[in-house]
Amino acid sequence: MTVPLSGAPDELRAVRAEPPWGSTPWRAHSLIVALASRITPKLAWVDGTGKQPADRPTGLRCRRWMSTLRPVVFGFALALSFAVAACSSMPRSVDSETAGTGSTGAQATTGGSSGSGGSGAGVPAGCELGTSAISIAWDAANEQPAAFYATSEARALADNVLYYQNADGGWPKNTDMASRAQAKAGSTIDNRATTTQIEFLGRVYAANGCPQYRDAALAGVTFLLDAQYENGGWPQEYPNPEGYHAHITFNDDAMIHVMQVLRAVAEGAPPYTFGDEALASAAATAVQKGIDCILGCQIEMDDGHRGWCAQHDEVTLEPAQARTYELPSVSGSEGARVARFLMTIDPPSAEIRAAVEGAMAWFEAVQLTGIRVETVADASQPSGEDRVVVEDPDAPPLWARFYELGTNLPIFSSRCEVAECEDDPFFMRRYSLAEIENERRVGYAWYGNWPAAALAEYQAWKQKYP
């Protein structure tokens, strides 16, 4: 059988509806977009298991080559399409609504929206380029009162979001989209990138109906569908992920955020009401594949305990290393978010129930009591401060970020930047926070209460599903 690289149906890569302005130039644009979508097919793996074939290095090289070529061809086609539209869109005395607003930002060159916010003449009323000053922080973009999303300020922020959208439909991380002052970068799902932008554009589109925001949101969802591995996981970056960025990424809840968005798209839940039935069906399929991947990645331990690493190998599904201090391990942080997501599935299958039960048993077994973590001023340290573990019999339970595979001992690590790390990724592994370098000791969350919420929700879940 031929196994496609991703689950997005072909029709989702074509223009989904006739633009409301309906002019001949924009019909030409739509045709070129559709053709580009179809002449840049995705690489298929011929493997009955649905996993990458045994010649993994060759497969990855081929995949990266195709992933590199596809945006180039697509970007060239888009440039041609907009040239056709621009050269043909001279002012006319009839049909004042036929001048285009600009197409989806995902169809621009890397790091820029083709329409840069849809500022052309003749755009639908109320959809002109937002000119208001942006007063809210980007981090709070999805936390505003409903009335905000119909304002000129919301459109100005949405235009910036289109500006930063890449040709593949995704967005960069750690970018303040309240301005255009930052450098553009590649697409990722790390640090809530792409999922946050899709949600915001959905809110703005629902408030004002401007098609450029709908199209950009659709392109973002299609990016998520394209990025999914056939085994159901998502890499941290796409396309062309390299190194640990290619791993299935639970780290910082990246994959769970994607699945939450796609589930909302599948259900047509606000603000994800911009899709059609084909998109909803594709999103539902992707979510189910993601659930299967979560179950396949489980680390099964003694006594029925189960957990997950922060990242798993994209082929074998085994626990994998990310940065040099993020070692293969069982995660006290990411595992909690995974378990909480599984508890939202109604009704849970027998496999899901076993995964949840095993995870909760493990969280109970590895909780740390009688200690708390303090940050203190310390002029003798390079950072001027230190983080120390102190005894406190009244402190609430804590969990370590990482537990050693096979022993369940908390593990810690400095950045591993010596030659020995090439042969032994565990060379800098230590068993107490005090043993690692100050830079990592104060610069990373080694302890937290992440499973506390999962354990609280588990009580209600267990009553519902005894």
Look at residue 82 in the predicted model and tell me its pLDDT: 46
Residue 400 lies in a domain: yes
Find the Cα–Cα–Cα–Cα dihedral 33, 34, 39, 45, rounded to 10°.
110
Domain end (from 291, 317, 349): 291
Range of the domain at 281: 2-89+101-291
Domain end (from 291, 325, 340): 291
Residue 29 lies in a domain: yes
**Is 387 found in the same domain as 257?**
no
Report the length, in residues, of the chain: 466
| C-alpha to C-alpha distance for 255 and 234, rounded to whole angstroms | 6
Residue 459 lies in a domain: yes
Residue whose tokens read 């973002």: 220
Domain end (from 258, 291, 324): 291
Active site residues: 191, 323
pLDDT tens, per residue, the chain with 466 residues: 323 334 454 544 443 333 333 334 434 434 443 444 444 433 333 333 333 333 333 333 344 444 445 555 445 554 554 454 344 333 333 232 222 333 333 333 344 443 344 444 457 877 988 889 999 999 999 999 999 999 999 999 999 999 999 999 999 999 999 999 999 999 999 999 999 999 999 999 999 999 999 999 999 999 999 999 999 999 999 999 999 999 999 999 999 999 999 999 999 999 999 999 999 999 999 999 999 999 999 999 999 999 999 999 999 999 999 999 999 999 999 999 999 999 999 999 999 999 999 999 999 999 999 999 999 999 999 999 999 999 999 999 999 999 999 999 999 999 998 999 989 999 999 999 999 999 999 999 999 999 999 999 999 999 999 9
| pTM for the structure as a whole | 0.77
- Number of H helices and E strands in the chain, helices first, is 12, 14
Put residue 370 in one of left, alpha, beta given phi > 0 → left and psi -120 to 50 → alpha. Answer: left
Strand partners, 389: 373
Look at residue 129 in the predicted model and tell me its pLDDT: 85
Rounded to 5°, angle at Cα 313 from 412 and 60: 130
**Is 406 found in the same domain as 342?**
yes
**Is 283 found in the same domain as 150?**
yes
| Domain of residue 25, CATH code | 1.50.10
Quote the number of domains for the chain. Answer: 2
Look at residue 280 in the predicted model and tell me its pLDDT: 98
| C-alpha to C-alpha distance for 418 and 347, rounded to whole angstroms | 49
Residue whose tokens read 């040709």: 167
Query: Is the distance from CB of 390 to CB of 374 less than 8 angstroms?
Result: yes
**Is 329 found in the same domain as 457?**
yes
What are the φ and ψ backbone dihedral angles of 229, each rounded to 5 degrees? -70, 160
**Is 458 found in the same domain as 316?**
yes
Residue 96 lies in a domain: no
Query: Is the distance from CB of 368 to CB of 392 less than 8 angstroms?
Result: no
Which residue, among 97, 99, 98, 103, has the nearest Cα to 116 in the 3D structure? 103
**Is 400 found in the same domain as 361?**
yes
Look at residue 125 in the predicted model and tell me its pLDDT: 78
Tokens of residue 196, six digits: 């946050």
For residue 362, what are the contacts with CB-CB under 8 A and spacing of at least 6? 301, 305, 306, 307, 330, 335
CA separation, residue 362 to residues 255, 356, 395 (Å) = 22, 10, 20
| Domain of residue 417, CATH code | 1.50.10.20
| C-alpha to C-alpha distance for 224 and 447, rounded to whole angstroms | 31
Work out the burial of residue 362: count CB atoms within 10 Å of its CB; fewer than 13 is exposed, 13-18 middle, 19 or more buried: buried
CA separation, residue 68 to residues 3, 76, 82, 218, 239 (Å) = 20, 13, 22, 22, 7
Look at residue 131 in the predicted model and tell me its pLDDT: 86
For the stretch 104-129, pLDDT in tens is 333 333 444 433 444 444 578 779 88
| C-alpha to C-alpha distance for 66 and 456, rounded to whole angstroms | 46
Residue 95 lies in a domain: no
Query: Is the distance from CB of 244 to CB of 236 less than 8 angstroms?
Result: yes
Look at residue 130 in the predicted model and tell me its pLDDT: 83
**Is 448 found in the same domain as 429?**
yes
For the stretch 251-268, pLDDT in tens is 999 999 999 999 999 999
Measured in Å, how far apart are the chain's first and last C-alpha atoms? 41
**Is 213 found in the same domain as 317?**
no
**Is 412 found in the same domain as 305?**
yes
Strand partners, 90: none
